[in-house]
Amino acid sequence: MTSGEPDTDVLRLGAGARAWRAGTVVVLTLLFCAGSLVGNDHWWPFSPWRMFATSQAATGSVWSTGIEVRTADHVDTWVPAPLTPENVGLNRAEVEGRIPQIQADPSRLGTLATSHARLRPGAPAWVGLRVVRHKIVVVDREPTGEVETDVLAEWSSP
């Protein structure tokens, strides 16, 4: 080859290499189509997550999970606390995913109090902790200001 001439050496895939690549594309296409039509969250990544693929009714309610705590300084008062990795070592979604186990054994909430004490040593100790679900009433896509709160699980230090 001389300078100025284009490089004509082309490497071609063999029949077997083309066949397995085409087969992979067909299988993935079928999985994505089936997932989009009949799949649910358990089919991910071959289906859309329900929370991104559906919408709420214009009138109804929206739920929000959180925690409330009692501290050694104010043992008779429940106050909201951030459900964040910086505060308890877990995200809200991680707690929401374990609500059935927490309801079956509320002593699991004690680990959040222990984590909080480790992460925030200067803060007042938590002597009680509860998981709450706030149901926010919405009419025509606007919050009405009405909030119903349900206690899902409660723990008190021994």
Sorted by sequence, the CB contacts under 8 Å of residue 78 that are 6+ apart come out as 68, 69, 70, 128, 130
Whole-angstrom distance, CA of residue 117 vs CA of residue 141: 40
68 — phi, psi (to 5°)?
Answer: -125, 145
| Among 112, 120, 110, 71, residue whose Cα is nearest residue 88 | 112
The pair of structure tokens assigned to 58 is 């214009």
Same domain as 136, residue 67: yes
Cα torsion for 47, 50, 54, 55, to the nearest 10°? -160
The residue segments making up the domain with residue 33 are 15-53
Same domain as 87, residue 150: yes
Same domain as 47, residue 66: no
Percent of the chain, pLDDT > 90?
Answer: 69
The 10s digit of each residue's pLDDT in 77-107 is 999 999 999 999 999 999 999 999 999 999 9
Residue 22 falls inside a structural domain:
yes
Please identify every stretch of the chain with a pLDDT value under 50, giving residue numbers as ranges.
none
The burial of 131, by beta-carbon neighbours within 10 Å (0-12 exposed, 13-18 middle, 19 or more buried), is given as buried
Domain count of the fold of the chain:
2
Same domain as 44, residue 110: no
* C-alpha distances out from residue 31 to 16, 20, 36, 56, Å: 23, 16, 8, 27
The 10s digit of each residue's pLDDT in 2-12 is 566 666 788 89
